[in-house]
């Protein structure tokens, strides 16, 4: 039973990582930027969502406003920061992105306070779902379900919509795509918007799980997100999804079995190093 619990929480966290970091994968695929400021969009979504939820009493309204706020901020980060430094060596956008993360996190602290916000009437708090001998946290189901639905929507768009096809064309052959009339700039905005929206949803879900959002909540996904895109293989969405699940399950079992010797982050680090030493170019490969 214990191992089943570990597996369930691992899958739930894996789905959450996938949703939270899909924006990183989209951005890395297009621009080869390690967009660590993405973690701040996750926190922004959580803060705005919880604040509006507390004020209005409607989770849906909170979620929508959170998504809007994150999308606007994500597109602003591209326009104001990344656009002008795309040609620089990769550590320049990385450090700029870190600067944005530090700036926004401190901004959250100033606006919302050091202690953050608590969810006032949390429908999922301590709620369990019981089948026979099993008892599962409802929030885990919501996390996994929310992630799978939103990823399915994204995958559908990527595979069948004009924007999605343009995105895939731009990832594999940027110059060629541009010559075939793909509006590369539009594709970039679409990627930032979609990724930021997913991060906002993930942020709200994590806030519901913890019943709390803090200025540093985003650190949960900041560096793991980088790990996932690299493991997933250069902007490959399926690869990133698999890497997220692997990471979530590895962490879950790692804590269950070796939690006395190392912490959650260190387990992820070991999984990461081991994977990279075996597959130096990541698990998946971008379609070309």
Partner 1 sequence: MTGYHLSLISLTGIMIVFAVSLNMIMGLCGQVSLGHAAFYGVGAYVTAMMSAGGVPTLYALPVGMLIAGLMGLIVGFASLRVRDDFLAITTLAVGFLFVGVVRKSRALGGEFGISGIPESGLGPAGDAFLVAFCVVLTVALSVYLSRNWTGLAFRSISANEEAAQTLGINSAHYKLLAFCIGCALAGLAGGLYANYARFIVPGTFGFSLSITAAAMVVIGGIGSTAGVVAGAVLLTLFPEIFRFLGDYRMLVYGALLVGVMLFQPKGLAGIPSMVRRWAGPR
When asked if residue 242 is in the footprint of partner 1 (CB under 8 A), the reply is no
- Name which position in 125, 157, 189, 223 contacts partner 1 (CB under 8 A): 223
When asked if residue 85 is in the footprint of partner 1 (CB under 8 A), the reply is yes
Residue 243 and residue 14 in contact, taking contact as beta carbons nearer than 8 Å: no
- Name which position in 4, 110, 185, 257 contacts partner 1 (CB under 8 A): 110
Name which of 148 and 270 has its Cβ closer to partner 1. Answer: 270
CA angle 217, 20, 184 (to 5 degrees): 125
Name which of 55 and 266 has its Cβ closer to partner 1. Answer: 266
- Name which position in 1, 179, 280, 288 contacts partner 1 (CB under 8 A): 280
When asked if residue 16 is in the footprint of partner 1 (CB under 8 A), the reply is no
Name which of 131 and 277 has its Cβ closer to partner 1. Answer: 277
- Name which position in 81, 138, 141, 178 contacts partner 1 (CB under 8 A): 81
Minimum distance of partner 1 from residue 16's CB (angstroms): 19
When asked if residue 75 is in the footprint of partner 1 (CB under 8 A), the reply is no
Site size toward partner 1 (CB under 8 A) is: 47
202-218 in b/e form (b: 16+ CB < 10 A) is bbbbbbbbbebbbbebb
When asked if residue 256 is in the footprint of partner 1 (CB under 8 A), the reply is no
When asked if residue 270 is in the footprint of partner 1 (CB under 8 A), the reply is yes
Helix (H) or strand (E) holding 213: strand 212-213
Residue 166 and residue 179 in contact, taking contact as beta carbons nearer than 8 Å: no
Binders of partner 1 in range 114-173 (CB under 8 A)? none
Query: CA-CA distances (angstroms) from residue 258 to 229, 248, 250, 262, 276?
Result: 26, 15, 11, 7, 21
Those residues with Cβ within 8 angstroms of residue 275's Cβ, 6 or more apart along the chain or in another chain: 231, 246, 283
CA angle 104, 105, 111 (to 5 degrees): 85
Report the C-alpha gap between 132 and 115 in whole angstroms: 39
When asked if residue 111 is in the footprint of partner 1 (CB under 8 A), the reply is no
Choices 10-18, 107-115, 169-177, 196-204; region in contact with partner 1 by CB under 8 A: 107-115
Give the number of other CB atoms < 10 A from CB of residue 270.
14
Query: CA-CA distances (angstroms) from residue 270 to 47, 160, 212, 246, 277?
Result: 31, 38, 29, 12, 11
- Name which position in 130, 162, 175, 261 contacts partner 1 (CB under 8 A): 261
Name which of 62 and 93 has its Cβ closer to partner 1. Answer: 93
Which residues of this protein are in contact with partner 1, per CB under 8 A?
32, 34, 81, 84-85, 88, 90-96, 98-107, 109-110, 223, 226-227, 230, 260-270, 272-273, 276-277, 280-282
């Amino acid at each position: 039973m214990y191992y089943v619990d570990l597996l369930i929480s691992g899958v739930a966290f894996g789905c959450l990582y996938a949703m939270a970091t899909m924006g990183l994968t989209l951005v890395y695929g297009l621009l080869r930027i390690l967009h660590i400021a993405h973690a701040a969009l996750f926190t922004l979504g959580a803060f705005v969502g919880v604040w509006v939820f507390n004020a209005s009493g409607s989770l849906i309204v909170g979620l929508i406003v959170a998504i809007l706020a994150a999308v606007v901020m994500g597109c602003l980060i591209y326009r104001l920061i990344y656009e002008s430094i795309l040609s620089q060596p990769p550590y320049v956008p990385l450090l700029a992105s870190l600067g944005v993360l530090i700036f926004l996190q401190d901004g959250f602290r100033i606006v919302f306070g050091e202690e953050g916000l608590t969810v006032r009437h949390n429908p999922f708090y301590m709620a369990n779902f019981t089948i026979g001998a099993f008892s599962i946290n409802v929030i885990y189901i919501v996390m996994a379900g929310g992630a799978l639905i939103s990823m399915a929507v994204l995958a559908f768009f990527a595979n069948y919509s004009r924007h999605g096809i343009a995105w895939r064309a731009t990832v594999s052959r940027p110059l060629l795509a541009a010559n075939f009339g793909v509006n590369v700039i539009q594709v970039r905005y679409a990627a930032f918007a979609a990724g930021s929206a997913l991060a906002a949803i993930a942020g709200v879900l994590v806030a519901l799980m913890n019943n709390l959002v803090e200025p540093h909540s985003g650190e949960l996904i900041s560096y793991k997100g980088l790990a996932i895109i690299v493991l997933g293989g250069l902007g490959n969405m399926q690869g990133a999804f698999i890497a997220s699940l692997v990471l979530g399950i590895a962490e879950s079992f790692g804590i269950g079995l070796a939690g006395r010797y190392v912490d959650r982050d260190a387990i992820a680090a070991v999984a990461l190093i081991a994977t990279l030493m075996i597959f130096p170019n990541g698990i998946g490969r971008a379609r070309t």
